[in-house]
Structures are given as C-alpha cells and as structure tokens.
Amino acid sequence: MTHAPQRSVQVVAHRGASEDAPEHTLAAYKKAIEDGADALECDVRLTADGHLVCVHDRRVNRTSNGRGAVSALELADLATLDFGSRRTRETWRGRTSDTEEPDWEHRPEDRAETSVLTLERLLELVSDAGRRVELAIETKHPTRWAGQVEERLLTLLKRFGLDAPPSAAESLVRIMSFSARSLHRVRAAAPTLPTVYLVQFLTPRLRDGRLPAGVGIAGPSIRIVRNNPAYVERLKRAGHQVHVWTVNEPEDVDLCVELGIDAIITNRPRAVLRQLNRG
C-alpha cells in the first residue's frame, strides 16, 4: 500500500542502506543519505587500541575477509580488511526490495568505501550531508569493558558538539542499547541526549509500557509489534516514542503507520520512503 506522505514517520537506515551495499560501510551510509533517509543507524564497538568502529558482530568473520574479535584487534589491523569482499552482486542478487538489481557492486578500486568505518568518519559524513541527518548509535561492548564504550562515545560526540543538545527534541544523535545499565551511564553523563531502550523479548516487567528511568524511547522488534500491537498503545499512553526494528516488508510498514510508530528502522530506506510517498 502507498500512503499519503508520512513525514511524521522517521525512516532510519539500518547499518546504512544495507540491502543495497555492505552493512556499516561508507558506501552503505552514502547510499542511505542519497536515498533520503532521515537518520542512520550504526552499532559501535571498541578496538583494542580504543577506537570506536561501526561493526555489529563481536567478530569480523561474517562481514569481512578477516577473522577475530573486534576488541582484540587494533584499528590498523581492521584497516587491512575489506568489509565489502563478502557482498558481491551475485551473492546478493534478488535481495533488493525493488525489481532492479542493487546499485552497488564491489570493486577493488573502491576499497576506501568498504574499509572499516570509524564512528568519527561517520560523524564527519553526517556533518557534511548538506541537510539534517540524524544518527542512532547502538552501543556494543564486552562486559569487561563496562563503561569504556560510553565514555569514548561521549568524548567523541563532545568533539563534534553533539553531546549536550538543548533538548532531546533538538538532538541529532540518540543512543540505543539493550542494556539499561549502558543507557543509565549515558543519561548520567549527558542528561539531554535522547536514549532508546531496545527490546527483543517482551518480559512481564515491560508489558505495561514502563521503560528504564529517564529513557523516553522504546525500541521493540517488529516481531513484538506484530504479535503485541497493544504494547505500542501502552507505550504511547505512557508518553514514550516508539522506534521499531528491523522493518523491511511492505505489510510491516503498513502496520507501523497504522499504529502511529515514530521511527521505522529498515535495511531498505529507499523502498520504505517510496511506500510512504516520500520517494
């Protein structure tokens, strides 16, 4: 279904335009901005030498031509890897939501587009976008590094002047996590930064719409929303925004619009924008 223009629903590119280009690469984020995404979503992990990089998995095996845990590798080690080598036109044929084939194709000469992406470089890209593009940053970290990811993240945001917005509504950045403790650390250090509590399983303590103290945005999975639409209503009644991940199918987009979801996090920003009559 194509809807009347839905500008109140924010379209967030999950790991960039990750259906059309390798996830968490400069290529994917450039494509998402080009497609008109309102915001970009990324996961951040800390390298052995203290750099924040955009990698979802604990290990780089799935997304690169290398092996090993991000936390055990230095940035220079990660820079030798190609995060586009496993994503070729043949491998991903037919995965795009449109009838045409993906616009992106891996080429060795485009290595700069598929090298490991630091959060610093992504912030530079957003700063130079030429329009308002928000950033949703999910913290990932080994338990033994408790607090270090948040500390490095806030230090980097401060360098870009993004750590202390006048209000949550004016912020270009929001911090997401499945860990209430991680969000508490962020809230304690940067009270005006908006935070999102990600929900994968709807436990009894969450069913009534409560979130951790100070958190104003819920981030349930689309599976939860499909199975428990009343949960969205309870969150709304409690005054919370609702950002849903990962919404790729047209019928799920329709459901999110029907329920008044505030943000749709998707691998297919171009297709979702078209369905919302914004592309």
Domain ranges in the chain are: 10-43+119-275
Q: Can you tell me whether residue 98 is helix, strand or coil?
A: coil
Residue 107 pLDDT: 66
Residue 97 pLDDT: 41
Q: Which residues are catalytic?
A: 14, 56
Residue 111 pLDDT: 77
Please list the ranges in the chain whose pLDDT falls under 50: 6, 88-102
Residue 104 pLDDT: 54
Residue 101 pLDDT: 45
Residue 63 pLDDT: 96
**114 φ, ψ to 5°?**
-125, 15
Residue 103 pLDDT: 52
Question: Please, how many CA atoms are within 13 Å of residue 201, restricted to the half-sphere of its CB?
Answer: 4
Residue range 26-36, pLDDT digits in tens: 999 999 999 99
The region, left, alpha or beta by phi > 0 then psi within -120 to 50, assigned to residue 24 is left
Q: Is-contact 25 83, C-beta < 8 A? A: yes
Residue range 46-72, pLDDT digits in tens: 999 999 999 999 999 999 999 999 999
CATH class of 10-43+119-275: alpha beta
